[in-house]
Amino acid sequence: MAILKIEDLSKSFGGLKAVSHVNINVEKGELIGLIGPNGAGKTTIFNLLTGVYVPTSGKIELKNDKTGDSILINGLKPYITSSFGISRTFQNIRLFRDLSVLDNLRIAMHKRVKYNVFSAIFRTKAYRECEKIFYENAMAILDFVGLADKRDELADNLPYGEQRKLEIARAVATGASVIFLDEPAAGMNPSETEELRVLIEDLRKKYELTVILIEHDMKFVMEICERIYVLDFGTIIAEGTPEEIKNNDRVIKAYLGEEA
């Protein structure tokens, strides 16, 4: 079942075609890579998928895996795409730096709040029960990603690798079923990258996630992705398994130049 269907998607900035007639299909539970040289249009696609940009043309269809209903999400605001089960991380980490690790996750859960302002002010039973569930869910995710003992630390005080993990944990905490990871391994050393690979695979299984990631670390991409789309100058030039992509002439040329 295709959980995400991108059809003929284009985005122009003035005269620049950043994304041009892109088609992508993602099956439920897949782990997909989106790669390409600098400026190929990868982040623009993420921004279109998460409602940061409105497409110039084309369709983005998301299937609700529980009801089976499809909805068009092109142009919907990020807080709405999020309520449909989409979440993301960013190339440059964007945490609530002055909040604790635990509160970063609690905030991510707020759209699932089941109590009203009155309940929050008077700390009613509904409030306490809902907050207890949030706490337990947040701690379960923190435990899974290995940050449970850091729950009271300020996000800003975590080492870089753990901030990256926290950002992914926060994306999971929103309850999303489709997660976009923008260069999750950026700035990591090989052992941190390997740890991250295992973590993403484990999270995917445990929380039944569909994952689409952008990454420049080719070893990481080839090891973790089941299928890869390659972008160059805003268009998809290849799609296939890591093995197929590694041996694709157009991809080699896009990365290494015509002489390759």
Which C-beta is closer to ligand ATP: that of 18 or that of 62?
Answer: 18
Q: Of residues 10, 20, 43, 81, which one binds ligand ATP by CB under 6 A?
A: 43
Q: CB burial class (10 A; 0-12, 13-18, 19+) of residue 260? A: exposed
Decide if residue 38 touches ligand ATP (CB under 6 A): yes
The residue (of 99 and 218) whose beta carbon lies closer to ligand ATP is 218
Please list the residues that pair with 32 across neighbouring strands. 212, 227
Region of 36-44, 65-73, 96-104, 143-151 interacting with ligand ATP (CB under 6 A) = 36-44
Nearer to ligand ATP, 12 or 100 (CB): 12
Structure tokens at 168: 């992914």
Secondary structure element (H or E) that encloses residue 232, with its range: strand 227-232
Q: Judged by CB under 6 A, which stretch of 12-20, 114-122, 140-148, 189-197 contacts ligand ATP? A: 12-20
Tell me whether residue 148 or residue 186 sits nearer to ligand ATP (CB atom).
186
How many Å apart are CA 249 and CA 230, to the nearest integer?
12
CA distances to 45, 159, 228 from 97, rounded to whole Å, are: 27, 12, 33
Query: What are the φ/ψ torsions at residue 257 (nearest 5 degrees)?
Result: 100, 170
Is residue 44 close enough to count as binding ligand ATP by CB under 6 A?
yes
Say whether residue 26 binds ligand ATP (CB under 6 A).
Answer: no
- Interacting residues toward ligand ATP by CB under 6 A: 13, 16, 18, 36, 38-44
